[in-house]
Amino acid sequence: MASATMNKSTSQTSFADSTKLDRSELDSGYTSAQSDYSPSSSTSSLPLVSLAKPHIAHLNDQLENMHPMDILRFCKIMFPNLYQSTAFGLTGLVTMDMLSKIQKENPESRTVDLIFLDTLYHFKETYELVDRVRERYPNVPVHIFKPDGAETTEQLEDLYGKELYNTSTELYDWIVKVEPLQRAYDELKVSAVLNGRRRSQGAARGSIPIIEVDEERGIVKINPLATWSFKQVNDYIKENNVPYNALLDRGYKSVGDWHSTSPVKEGEDERAGRWKGQQKTECGIHNSKSRYAQFAAANPLKKADVVKSGEEKQQQEQTRSSEPELKKQKVEEQPKVVEAMSAKVIEEQQQQQQQQETSQTTLANPSAVVELMA
């Protein structure tokens, strides 16, 4: 297979047979897929794709004004082992439908498989959408990756405690998104991946190129609908009768995990409903991999520490949750205490009154005093 490399001294892009490429040639350009030159691989295979910075800039210039369908046609030819990573948002669904049409143009070409990260905290509407997508596009394989060692929410919480998404958001992102995606890249030998990011979504996405390289992960990332607006995406969905998440009819525009997604108000940004009230705009898969280095280096002992920490937090939560019950118990017992105290006071008053009456009787009857003295 031919690979593109850049000569440092001449800044020229040349093509050579992959078997003749050496380390210095590869270091001069961007590489994709796993190789012994990428950070997370120990294999000796050469990268499937190697792009120089000037070449990437050139490609982005050419693709900028192209229709997404044409961008996808180009990517299917340009990048081997091309996959689509999706959470079945609107942009991902549009990409999926466009790819299905392109596939019909050349049925013998390789399909672009889907990668879905099941965090175990998706809305039930999202899981229902996955089933509808499979029915609509039966020839498109869906590769589902879950958190390592957990098939259910209960199993995940047994490992790391409840509400990890609140107690340690960075660790949560690593466990349910970052690590599973890296595992998908490794197992499927992904060289390039299609994403659903658009510039109109704002924040860090406001200036994304159509083609970019994640050097840490050794992956070429493509944003085929980067130039489209929410309206363009939504119109395509309706015009082409593409299945979509039922939550979009209830005020949602961007759907993630149920615990961190809410509807957006009129005039709010498309992703305003994600992590509302937090300084967070991404789930982790589009952040730098080095940001999660501490978790990547974690061993079973550290996992045990996390479990212990989770157990301690649960105990604290149980203590806090029992406080209202204790207060309620005290309130319920208070009338009984008051009643008992009142009865005792009444009894003491009666005794005092009897003593006073006895004293008065004795003083009024001298013979009684003599009798007592006797």
Q: Which residue has the higher pLDDT, 11 or 341?
A: 341
Unique residue bearing structure tokens 């008992």: 340
In the structure, what pLDDT confidence band is assigned to residue 168 with cuts at 50, 70 and 90? Answer: confident
Both tokens assigned to 100: 């299905």
The predicted model gives 99-114 an average pLDDT of: 96
Rounded to an integer, what distance in angstroms lies between the CA atom of residue 345 and that of residue 335?
15
Sequence-ordered list of residues with C-beta below 8 angstroms from that of 50, at least 6 positions apart, any chain? 3, 4, 5, 21, 26, 29, 30, 31, 32
Question: 90, 178, 208, 283: which is the annotated catalytic residue?
Answer: 283
166 contact partners, CB below 8 Å, separation of at least 6? 259
Element (H, E) at 339: helix 300-364
Residue pLDDT, tens place only, 22-33: 444 444 455 554
Q: Is 75 a catalytic residue?
A: no
Q: Which residue has the tokens 């589902």?
A: 144
C-alpha neighbours within 13 Å on the C-beta side of residue 51: 24
Work out the percent of the chain whose per-residue pLDDT is above 90: 44
Residue 287 identity: N
Distance CA 50, CA 250 (A): 44
What confidence tens digit (pLDDT) does each residue in 144-154 have? 999 999 999 99
- The answer on pLDDT for 5 being more than 80 is no
Cα gap 173→260, rounded to integer Å: 12
pTM: 0.66
Helix (H) and strand (E) counts for the chain?
Answer: 13, 10
Hey, what are 93's tokens?
Answer: 């669904």
pLDDT digits (tens, 9 = 90+) for 34-78: 433 344 443 444 456 778 899 999 999 999 999 999 999 999 999
Strands 82-85 and 114-117: parallel
Sign of CA dihedral 77, 145, 185, 192: positive
Average pLDDT of every residue of the chain: 75
Task: Tell me: pLDDT of 342 over 80.
Answer: no
| Region 176-194 average pLDDT | 94
Inter-residue contact 150 to 159 (CB < 8 Å): yes
- Residue 199, burial from CB neighbour count under 10 angstroms (0-12, 13-18, 19+): middle
Cα angle: 365, vertex 368, 372; to 5 degrees: 150
For the segment 251-299, what is each residue's pLDDT rounded down to a tens digit?
A: 787 788 888 887 676 665 665 545 455 554 555 555 555 555 666 665 4
Higher-confidence position of 78 and 7: 78
- The residue that leads in pLDDT, 167 or 17, is 167
